[in-house]
Structure 1
Amino acid sequence: MGTTSPHRRRVSNWNCPERLFTKPLSKHSTGLKPTAMSTNLTTGPLVGQVVLITGSESGIGRETARAFCQLGAAVVLNGRQAERLECTRQALAAEGYRVAACVADVTNYADCEHLVAMALNRFGRLDVLITNASISQRAYFADMQPEVFRQVLDSNVYGSVYPLKAALPHLIARQGSVTFISSISALNGMPSGSAYCAGKAALANLAHTLRLELAATGVHFGVVHIGFTQNDPDKRVLDAAGQPVPIAHRPPRWQKSQAQVAAIILKHVRRRRRRTIISALGRLILVVHSLLPRLGDWVVLTSQRRMRNFYE
């Protein structure tokens, strides 16, 4: 749900050449060189705003970047696969949008400092931060290697904490907006997703705490709980040993398109909402978990027995 795999993948979008990305990110990567983009789009309600979206080289992050660009914002793209990230940047630039891109591992604080510095150097300000980059899993807790659990958890927690920590002074200066991308699985837990659910649930409490601590700054802190979403064909998550595997089966009728999810994220940010839950299923989970938690657990356990491919 809205996750980005750190492993090598084949490009199948944006008319990019198919090739494997095998070059690892250096500890102090300088990222892609910012390049002047087309400035054809000079009108729109977000003209002058600068948006940084982590994990925006593909998937939901890429479509969210496009949604903000369409309203006139300048967008800083981020990812760990340099060639794929550059391909996305070129595609958006070709549509006339103001974009820049920077390779950075958001679980590395030095990389996050560089990412924010590049955004400021390129566009002079920072108004919106959306922390979308994360890793998901497809493994039961009892089978997971400890280091895999930590990798998934770190990507979801520190992958939001570190970019925010680096960007916070600049967001305070603009009375800006921060949105953490979470999941409906954080609302009630999900078998085979222990580390992912724990990390996504942590973001909701983090946002609540920051609203209290930084209430006087005027910065908006929000959380979007994403439901089942159509994924890029090469999307991968981690198994118990840390190997990339396809995500578990999701009935197509339950899934929203990436563009639909991006539009909801855009509306959430513009309205400075505290929480947005995407999909009727997500809202039902919240109600049942709050009022009838045992019933909610019974439904999940029953589905686990009858729909094993939904989890495994």
Structure 2
Amino acid sequence: MPSILLERSDPTPSFTHKPTDTPIPGARQSAFAGKVALITGSESGIGRATAFALGEAGARLVINGLSDERLAQTERLLRAEGYPVVRCVADVTQFDACQRLVDTAIDTYGQLDILITNASISMRAYFADMQPDVFQRVLDSNVYGTVYPLKAALPHLIESRGSVTFISSISALNGMPSGSAYCAGKAAISNLAHTLRLELAHTGLHIGVVHLGFTKNDTTKRVLDANGQPVPIAYRSPRWQKTQEQVAQLILGHIRRRRQRTVVSGLGKLIAFVHTYLPRLGDWIVRQSMRRLRHFYE
């Protein structure tokens, strides 16, 4: 699942000095060499792993998060590898903050080629128990946390005939008990991507969606309960999980091939197949799992 940011902070971004444009020693010459990539929610988790993978592939990086301390630490680690990087603290559910985030990329590098909307909040609560403001918070992070960065970046991405990738989830492909707001948000951005591909087909902009499956998370990762309190993510068997580094490479492959949709993992593809072609069977399996594997949801 995507990296989850729970902290709130001043949306005004924090800037570091401009990175050098000197080529990275030993970097692979690839489709990403010299490109400028902005990854939201990249202070930790999948977003951070994706930033490292893009840096290794020769991209110049703009990283983002809500915690300046964690973001600065990630920036130091990237710089230690010789990757050009600038950080920007910004709340992606606020359009003005997203505009400043994009301005950071343009002011630093003069262009923007890749946008990965990774930042989001997840949850673990049954709908009947959820407070309305918690539902809204989760939905805002997933929908407006995707819409606002893209809206701010769109003119620059069209100019570069670049790429935008929405980080979604297999939860968007079917309902998941105790995940109503998260499922709704991820399904919304999948449909948004389809609509934008139709509207912007003439521009040459690549618009894709990556549906993540179960991923090994940072031990500090938290999701929201019914009252908006941070709680650990529900149990997932290690044998079902991909590492963050594996997921990052799959995201890069998706962008490189300019794919419309990538479903991560064999389990994710199986879930997508069953719920598309055998929906009653899929629902029966989920209902059985709710009875037999309650810890999977709670």
TM over 0.5, yes or no?
Answer: yes
TM-score (norm 2): 0.97
Counterpart in 2 of 1:31?
14
Deviation at 1:223, TM superposition (A): 0.2
Deviation at 1:32, TM superposition (A): 3.0
Identity of aligned residues (%): 64
Selected match of 1:80 from 66, 74, 87: 66
Q: State how far apart, in whole Å, the 1-side matches of 2:201 and 2:167 are.
A: 21
Q: Is the 8 A contact 1:38 1:93 kept in 2?
A: no
Q: State how far apart, in whole Å, the 1-side matches of 2:282 and 2:33 are.
A: 44
Q: State how far apart, in whole Å, the 2-side matches of 1:148 and 1:280 are.
A: 32
The one-letter amino acid paired with 2:253 is K
Q: Is the 8 A contact 1:112 1:163 kept in 2?
A: yes
The one-letter amino acid paired with 2:140 is D
SS of the counterpart of 2:183?
helix
Q: State how far apart, in whole Å, the 2-side matches of 1:162 and 1:34 are.
A: 25
Count of aligned pairs: 295
Q: State how far apart, in whole Å, the 2-side matches of 1:38 and 1:83 are.
A: 25
Q: State how far apart, in whole Å, the 2-side matches of 1:122 and 1:62 are.
A: 20
Selected match of 2:35 from 29, 32, 49: 49
Deviation at 1:290, TM superposition (A): 1.2
Selected match of 1:125 from 111, 114, 132: 111
Counterpart in 2 of 1:5?
5
What do residues 135-163 of structure 1 show as CA deviations (whole Å, max 9, x unaligned)? 00011100000000000000000000000
The one-letter amino acid paired with 2:146 is S
Deviation at 1:254, TM superposition (A): 0.5
Structure 1 residue runs of 4+, over 3 Å off?
Answer: 37-40
Counterpart in 1 of 2:221?
235
Deviation at 1:5, TM superposition (A): 2.6
Counterpart in 2 of 1:206?
192
Deviation at 1:3, TM superposition (A): 3.0
Deviation at 1:292, TM superposition (A): 1.2
Aligned-residue CA RMSD (Å): 1.2
Deviation at 1:30, TM superposition (A): 3.1
Q: Does 1:291 align with 2:277?
A: yes
Q: State how far apart, in whole Å, the 1-side matches of 2:189 and 2:121 are.
A: 14
Q: Is the 8 A contact 1:37 1:93 kept in 2?
A: no
Q: State how far apart, in whole Å, the 2-side matches of 1:248 and 1:215 are.
A: 39
Uncovered stretches (5+) of structure 1, i.e. residues with no partner: 8-23
What do residues 68-115 of structure 1 show as CA deviations (whole Å, max 9, x unaligned)? 110100010000000100000000101111111100000000000000
Q: State how far apart, in whole Å, the 1-side matches of 2:231 and 2:152 are.
A: 32
The one-letter amino acid paired with 2:177 is P
Q: State how far apart, in whole Å, the 1-side matches of 2:5 and 2:35 are.
A: 29
Q: State how far apart, in whole Å, the 2-side matches of 1:287 and 1:233 are.
A: 31
Q: Is the 8 A contact 1:34 1:102 kept in 2?
A: no
Q: Is the 8 A contact 1:37 1:97 kept in 2?
A: no
SS of the counterpart of 1:188?
coil
Q: State how far apart, in whole Å, the 1-side matches of 2:236 and 2:94 are.
A: 32
Counterpart in 2 of 1:106?
92
Q: State how far apart, in whole Å, the 1-side matches of 2:184 and 2:60 are.
A: 33
SS of the counterpart of 2:208?
strand
SS of the counterpart of 2:233?
coil
Uncovered stretches (5+) of structure 2, i.e. residues with no partner: none
SS of the counterpart of 2:79?
helix
SS of the counterpart of 2:173?
helix
